[in-house]
A and B are shown apart, each in its own frame.
Chain A
């Protein structure tokens, strides 16, 4: 069974559209994350979510909004997509938040045309 899964795996869309990426973890973890890995392979944290507390990275545009319907899911909504949003987006989860192992999903490759 996949521990952290993401859908879709690939997403190609036009500039200005709104899209969502879904993430689910079956590890029973309390904390989930979204990361962006750009073309230079830098992996940057965007959000972390622990139970009902959302921690936002202030450098992330407010066009990006995470939504967590329950502890096992953390979805990422992106409004008004821009060319610069093209990247690979990774979801991850961990049991706690103090150095615990993060388990990453397979990534969603987003291409904005």
Chain B
């Protein structure tokens, strides 16, 4: 069965450093991968999409890579700020209408001032 893992349940880093979150998957060949941010008591908010034929995407301080050989995506937040503290979820999709759309368990990031 499909399995998605995110490197750790929680990650603490110092303000100004680069946070790197990992998403690994098995038994799946996704057509795309997305990263979402979820704050406590709120729904997830979309951050970035990367497709299987793309290696890297950037948006402001965010960067995501996608290695279909390693079956891994890395999500980087540069110059991290306390406001970046949240849970970050990766999600994989491949079929229409979300039938095989799967979220990872999430990594709770805390950026310490």
Q: List residues of A whose CB falls within 8 A of some B CB.
A: 4, 31, 33, 40-45, 48-50, 53, 55, 57, 90, 92, 97-99, 101-107
Contact = CB atoms under 8 A, between A and B. Distances in A.
Given A43-B89, A48-B97, A48-B101, 12 more contacts: A31-B97, A45-B102, A55-B98, A90-B43, A90-B44, A97-B96, A97-B97, A97-B98, A99-B31, A102-B34, A104-B44, A106-B42
B73 interface: no
B44 A41 contact: no
A43 B99 CA distance: 14
Contacts of B43: 4, 90, 92, 104-107
A98 B96 contact: yes
A14 B43 CA distance: 25
A31 B49 CA distance: 18
B103 A44 contact: yes
Contact of B103 (A4, A43, A55, A99): A43
A102 B97 contact: no
Nearest to B101: A45
B32 interface: yes
The CB with the most chain A CB atoms within 10 A, among B49, B89, B93, is that of: B93
A99 B99 contact: no
11 contacts: A31-B97, A41-B105, A41-B106, A42-B105, A43-B89, A45-B102, A55-B97, A99-B51, A101-B46, A102-B34, A107-B41
A104 B45 CA distance: 7
Contacts of B49: 99, 101
B98 A31 contact: yes
